Amino acid sequence: MSEPIVGKGIDRVDGRLKVTGKATYAAEVAVANVAHGVIVGSAISRGRISTVDIKAAQQAPGVLAVLTHDNAPKLPGAHKKAVGQERILQFLQDDVILYSDQPIALVIADTIENAQYAAGLVAPTYDANDKPVADLDAASATAYTPKSLGPRGEVNSTRGNFDKGFAAATFKIDATYTTPVENHHPMELHSTTAVWQGEDVVTLYDATQGIFSVRTRIAELFDIPPVKVRVISHYVGGGFGSKGTPWSHIALAAMGAKVLGRAVNVTVTRPQMFSLVGHRPKTVQTIQLGADRQGKLTAIKHAVISETSRFDEFVEPAASQTRMLYSCPNVITSHALVRIDIPTPTFQRAPGESTGTYALESAMDELAYATAIDPLELRIRNHATQDEQERKPFSSKSLLECYRRGAAAFGWAKRNPKPRSTRDGKALIGLGMATATYPARQLPSSAVARMTPDGMLLVMAGTQDIGTGTYTIMTQIAADALAMPIDRVRFELGDTEFPETPTSGGSTTASSTGSAVKVTCLALRKNLVDLAIGDTASPLHGIPATSITFDQGALVSGGKRDNYGDIVKRSGAPEIGAEIKTQPTEDHKKYSMHSFGATFAEVRVDEDLGQIRVARLVAAYGAGKILNAKTGRSQFLGGIVWAIGMTLQEHTVRDPRTARVITRGLDDYHVPVNADVPDITVIAVDEVDPYVNELGAKGIGEIGITGMNAAIANAVFHATGKRIRDLPITLDKLTSEERA
């Protein structure tokens, strides 16, 4: 029997293509006679367009078309809200301005340089009588309860009697924590090239996390059957949620290409990333915790207010994890929205849990100091053995082991609990910790597997690789299912002509499409066995299927072998295949499924300057089966590094007078670089979960950002004695705030 490949830290199968520049991303696809479109954005945030003077732009060198609301084609589905999580978008259909940088024109030219130059010649005038509202604090009185929390359960939740539990508490925490607007900035900008074949058939080369959602949206907008829309996305240079739903530039590229009868590429600029592809909304989170003398929680209330646009609705589900993370009889959670003059927010890595664990785990740290109980011990005392909100057992939970192993690797037991108690010269040293968590979900998905006469296995699924290693883990899963050498397996993705799969988001790709790949390959294996034992020319003819094993691309029994390729050849068929669609099992209704982790941080704070340096990070995770130790570690690290930026750096700034974003690029929107990232220890706790899916995998792309932001913030308090409840923790806040 071949040695299992799943779990091993093998190199990325597409790694050489990427490092040699041969992996083709959306903007690089070679399309004949492609023209280039540049989006012109509005200079106001609220009002109407009075006029758009495009004469100079039309006469500029190389210009092929200038589209505005005056001359753009009317899209049949432009004013329909798409099914699911899709956003209401703007496609040059009217003169209403809803947010700054909203598309008001598309300039198309023969080269990108000519299009950019001509875009600067478009001269709009506006009627902007109403003053825009830039921040939810300015409109907090208008907060309302949304209708839905999307796929995350009920908007509000209650169990027990909070008022009674809080009144009976010996120790009480009542604090408000805020997280700022943050923007996605993957290395690859959003880009789409549209090519029409006739009036109603279009191919889109798109940078997306969801090729099938793009297909559905474009079909709806242009009122054509989905089967006539093909979306191809072989490589994606990061998404983090921003590429999870279709945005306006995709439809504008398709519109421009149809008008011209020529391929058109539209690539969103770095400044436009702040307005055209969503953002993480600002949150204001009030947390009340009550505990008895032993530190056992008696009451929790977590109330979240976040921002959304005036024309659409997105809820940051920041209180979701609070419903189940700790054992407590009396818990209330709520979510409210404030409408302001901004583009609609969207998912950003670990939406809800990243912001919510920061607030909850900071409050738990405050409770630890109030009770004089070690922060780790406090969490252990309140460990939940089941999901008390859903009244379900966990499918698996290794959190206590994560606490133990993480604390041992970090040296938590040596920590002096007193703030400002440890220093190295002028550097105040602080140690903090927090709990991490993220849901483990599975969605319907499908795959096809084919064995060829030369013994090659081809597996296809219309999923996406957003840089997480999907090509690699799917290859490993397929190789294991058929006991084949990995170099005899080819996995293809990123095409809507392949079997349908869900969007790559919510850490669901491995669990959903990975399960489909495994089940499909096992079905193919059964087909090969049935052919062999029923074929008089096979050395395994008549042998019971139960006695057959699988090794290096062959069926084996009693010293006899029949290679997969030979079975296909004798069948007379060009290939032997299988295609299966998988669904979440009934176990998803019986169990609460989550990953958990323990995060530990050491910071050094310059006592005079307030400068914060993260010196050391340790994280231990129980996240089911890790399918590739190497790419898995990379995913954990990516989330942890993001937590550094979220805690200490990231902050989108809007002008309060105009609601226009001031931070326009990576020069003033700060993210961690090499010098900001310390030694990071990641521990993957072995965890067997027989219920979560066919692979036992929970998904790991997002849990790394949860909890660690609070661990860093808690370490800053331990170092300085100053509790900063407003992210990011910058030196001005640290040097000006009163001590908590």
Residues marked as catalytic: 702
The region that residue 450 occupies, defined by phi over 0 for left and psi between -120 and 50 for alpha, beta otherwise, is beta
Strands 297-309 and 283-291: antiparallel
Beta-sheet strand order (sheet of 576-582): 489-492, 457-460, 445-451, 576-582
Q: With CA atoms as reference, report the closest residue to 466 among 701, 231, 212.
A: 701
Q: At what angle do helices 211-222 and 248-260 cross, to 10 degrees?
A: 50
Contact partners, residue 613, CB within 8 Å, separation at least 6? 603, 604, 605, 676, 678
Reported as type and span, the H/E element at residue 41 is strand 35-41
Point out which residues pair with 63 in neighbouring strands: 109
* CA–CA gap between residue 284 and residue 272 (Å, rounded): 26
* CA–CA gap between residue 415 and residue 429 (Å, rounded): 10
* CA–CA gap between residue 257 and residue 199 (Å, rounded): 11
Q: What is the 3-state secondary structure (H, E, C) of 618-668?
A: EEEEECECCCEHHHHHHHHHHHHHHHHHHHHCCCCCECCCCCCECCCCCCC
* CA–CA gap between residue 325 and residue 114 (Å, rounded): 55
Number of H helices, E strands in the chain: 16, 29
Cβ density class 674-690: b for 16+ within 10 Å, e for less: eebeeebebbbbebebe
How many other C-beta atoms can be found within 10 angstroms of the C-beta atom of residue 239? 26
Q: What is the 3-state secondary structure (H, E, C) of 437-472?
A: EEECCCCCEEEEEEECCCCCEEEECCCCCCCCCHHH
* CA–CA gap between residue 157 and residue 323 (Å, rounded): 8
* CA–CA gap between residue 607 and residue 729 (Å, rounded): 15
468: which 2 tokens? Answer: 């997480």
* CA–CA gap between residue 283 and residue 353 (Å, rounded): 12
Surface-to-core class of residue 474, CB atoms within 10 Å of its CB (0-12 exposed, 13-18 middle, 19+ buried): buried
Coil, strand, or helix at residue 203? Answer: strand
* CA–CA gap between residue 152 and residue 144 (Å, rounded): 18
Q: With CA atoms as reference, report the closest residue to 714 among 638, 616, 603, 632.
A: 603
Q: At what angle do helices 564-571 and 509-533 cross, to 10 degrees?
A: 60
Coil, strand, or helix at residue 685? Answer: coil
DSSP output for 91-140: -S-SSEE-STT-EEEEEEESSHHHHHHHHTT-EEEEE--SPP---GGGGG
Q: With CA atoms as reference, report the closest residue to 461 among 514, 508, 506.
A: 514
